[in-house]
Structure 1
Amino acid sequence: MQLARPAALLALVAGMLVLGLNMGLRQSFGLFLEPMTSAYGLSHAAFSLAIAGQNLLWGALQPLCGALADRFGTARMLAVGGATYTAGLVVMALVPGLTGLHLGAGLLVGIAVAATGIPLVLSAVARVAPADKRSLWLGFAATGGSIGQFVLLPGAQALIDGLGWQHALLALAALSVLGVLVAPALRGRADTGFDGEDAGTLASACSLAARHRGYLLLTAGFFVCGFHVAFVATHLPASVSAAGMPAAVGATAMSLIGLFNIGGSFAAGWAGQRWRKTNVLTGIYLGRAAAIAAFMAAPAEPWAVYAFASVFGVLWLGTVPLTGGVVGQIVGARYMATLFGVVMFSHQIGAFCGAWLGGLSFDLTGSYTAVWAVAAGLGVLAAALHWPITDTPARETARTA
Structure 2
Amino acid sequence: MFRTLHSPAIWAITLAAAGILMVTMGIRQSFGLFIAPIDETTGLGVVAISFALAVGQFTWGAIQPVAGAVADRYGPRPVLLAALLVLAIGCAATPFVGSGFGLVLTLGVLAAAGSGAGSFSVLIGAAAQRLPLESRGAASGVINAGGSFGQFIFAPITQKLIQGIGWMGGLWAMAVAALAAIPLVFRLTASQPAAHPAHESDQGLRHAIVNALQDRSYLLLSAGFFTCGFHIAFLVTHLPGEVNLCGLPASVASWSLAIIGLFNVFGSLYAGHCVSRYRSKYVLAVMYGSRVLLVAMYLLLPRTDWTFYLFAAGLGFTWLATVPPTATIIGKLFGTRYLGTLFGIAMLSHQIGGFLGAWLGGLAIAHFGDFSWMWYADMALAAFAALVNLPIREAPLTQPTAPA
Q: TM-score range by the shorter chain?
A: over 0.9
What residue is the counterpart of 1:347 in the other structure?
350
Q: Which residue of 172, 178, 182 maps to 2:184?
A: 182
What residue is the counterpart of 2:105 in the other structure?
103
CA distance in 2, matches of 1:225, 1:190: 33
Say which SS state the counterpart of residue 24 (structure 1) adopts.
Answer: helix
What residue is the counterpart of 1:72 in the other structure?
74
In structure 2, relative to structure 1, the CA distance for the partners of 1:159 and 1:386 (3 Å cut) is same
CA distance in 2, matches of 1:383, 1:63: 25
Q: Which moved more, 1:54-63 or 1:277-286?
A: 54-63
Q: Which moved more, 1:257-266 or 1:120-129?
A: 120-129
CA distance in 1, matches of 2:269, 2:61: 25
Pairing 1:294-373 to 2, within 5 Å after superposition: 294-373=297-376
State the shift of 1:70 in Å: 0.4
CA distance in 1, matches of 2:6, 2:221: 34
What residue is the counterpart of 2:401 in the other structure?
none
What residue is the counterpart of 2:144 in the other structure?
142
Equivalent position amino acid for 1:82 in 2: L
In structure 2, relative to structure 1, the CA distance for the partners of 1:60 and 1:348 (3 Å cut) is same
Equivalent position amino acid for 2:124 in 1: L
CA distance in 1, matches of 2:66, 2:258: 31
State the shift of 1:189 in Å: 11
State the shift of 1:98 in Å: 2.0
CA distance in 2, matches of 1:186, 1:67: 18
What do you get for the CA RMSD once the two structures are aligned?
1.8
What residue is the counterpart of 2:159 in the other structure?
157
Kindly indicate whether the alpha-carbon contact (under 8 Å) linking 1:292 and 1:376 is maintained by their aligned counterparts in 2.
yes
What residue is the counterpart of 2:126 in the other structure?
124
State the shift of 1:392 in Å: 5.2
User: How many residue pairs end up in the alignment?
Assistant: 391
TM-score when scaled to structure 1?
A: 0.94
CA distance in 2, matches of 1:326, 1:188: 27
Q: Which residue of 115, 119, 125 maps to 2:117?
A: 115
Pairing 1:37-56 to 2, within 5 Å after superposition: 37-56=39-58
State the shift of 1:22 in Å: 1.4
CA distance in 1, matches of 2:82, 2:127: 19
Q: Which residue of 192, 198, 201 maps to 1:199?
A: 201
Q: Unaligned stretches of 5+ in structure 2?
A: 397-404
Q: Which moved more, 1:53-62 or 1:384-393?
A: 384-393
Say which SS state the counterpart of residue 47 (structure 1) adopts.
Answer: helix
Pairing 1:174-323 to 2, within 5 Å after superposition: 174-187=176-189, 192-200=194-202, 201-323=204-326
State the shift of 1:110 in Å: 2.2
CA distance in 1, matches of 2:138, 2:277: 10
Equivalent position amino acid for 1:293 in 2: A
Equivalent position amino acid for 1:358 in 2: G
CA distance in 1, matches of 2:354, 2:258: 20
Q: Unaligned stretches of 5+ in structure 1?
A: 394-401
Kindly indicate whether the alpha-carbon contact (under 8 Å) linking 1:75 and 1:188 is maintained by their aligned counterparts in 2.
no
Equivalent position amino acid for 1:38 in 2: E
Kindly indicate whether the alpha-carbon contact (under 8 Å) linking 2:292 and 2:382 is maintained by their aligned counterparts in 1.
yes
Say which SS state the counterpart of residue 181 (structure 2) adopts.
Answer: helix
